[in-house]
Amino acid sequence: MRRNILGFLLVFALLVALPQPSLCAQPATDLPAHAALDLAVLRAAYPGAVQGLERNPAGQLELVLTSGQRLMYDDGRADAERQDAGPSNAVSAEAKKTDGVRQALATPDLRTMLAQVYPLGPVDEASANPAPGFDPGRSRVQALFLALYGHSEAEVRAHCAKVRFDRRTLPFNSRFGAAQALERVWKNIEAQLPQHPEFLPVLRPLGETIAWRVIAGTKRLSMHSFGIALDVNPNLPYWRWEKHSETMPAQCKAFPPEILAAFEAEGFIWGGKWASFDLMHFEYRPEIILKARALAGQVTLP
């Protein structure tokens, strides 16, 4: 009897020690093409932070971070919002589109965050006149950036390095190469200054990098909270206070393409390419730039 009990206990202990199958989620081996691309982009942009995509019990795809945290990749709402109403229901279609834009900003999933493709390169007629609601990179899954860069102002500041930019030294998050990228941006711009004095009114007075705060009119944290955004001259046009939005296409085209190229080359997106324009604003979003480059055939992702 004693031997039987000991034998049972030994078998039980071995079973407990073996890896147990997950009852909550299964690895996604049947990823659609857009999800496979987004996963590759996130892994390349944030090395070591992303484990993979898994389906939850409801069949929805979730991004699993190496910390074990799970973030919704596709909650299913975006598919419904992409279905346009017919011409006989134009008013309802416009209302639906407006609601979709608001939701994409307020509570996006990761698929929505990455859905709009950022237009790389010099400003042309198309990128100077974005369609309403076209703001690639402006939809942000806040939980992702909290996990990547810090959950509090103190934690973010602890990750910051000092970066020289123009005549100032600015704090910028050093995680995932952000601070080093900003250093390279400035070296690129600085080398061109002798031939381009017209850069100075765009850069000066230089704005801020880190500021733990919400975006005006929302409850969402600004990307400045994470120390991965830089405002150049804060007097440049911003959609909330600009009284002559009809001048925006011309002003966007007049922005020095060399400055824009220096930032984009290092993984920064520019708010001047948003319908909700913000010409002073650059933010480090390597996943947005990488996806645009991959779709343009400029890079190959593993």
Instruction: Return phi, psi of residue 64, to 5°.
Output: -105, 120
Residue 70 has pLDDT above 90, yes or no: yes
Q: Are 150 and 158 in contact (CB under 8 A)?
A: yes
Geometric angle at alpha carbon 278, from 272 and 284, rounded to 5°: 75
Q: What is the CA radius of gyration of the chain?
A: 23
Work out the mean pLDDT of the chain and round it to a whole number.
86
pLDDT band at 26 (very low <50, low <70, confident <90, very high): low
**Is the alpha carbon torsion for 273, 276, 279, 284 positive or negative?**
negative
Query: Which of the residue ranges 79-88, 172-181, 259-268, 275-284 would you say has the lowest mean pLDDT?
Result: 79-88
pLDDT of residue 15: 36
Position with higher pLDDT, 105 vs 242: 105
Query: Which of the residue ranges 127-141, 239-253, 262-276 would you say has the lowest mean pLDDT?
Result: 239-253
Q: What pLDDT, in 10s, does the model give residues 165-219?
A: 999 999 999 999 999 999 999 999 999 999 999 999 999 999 999 999 998 888 8
Distance separating alpha carbons of residues 51 and 36, to the nearest angstrom: 13
Residue 93 has pLDDT above 50, yes or no: no
Query: Which of the residue ranges 80-89, 113-122, 150-159, 223-232 would you say has the lowest mean pLDDT?
Result: 80-89
pLDDT of residue 227: 98
pLDDT band at 156 (very low <50, low <70, confident <90, very high): very high
pLDDT band at 30 (very low <50, low <70, confident <90, very high): confident
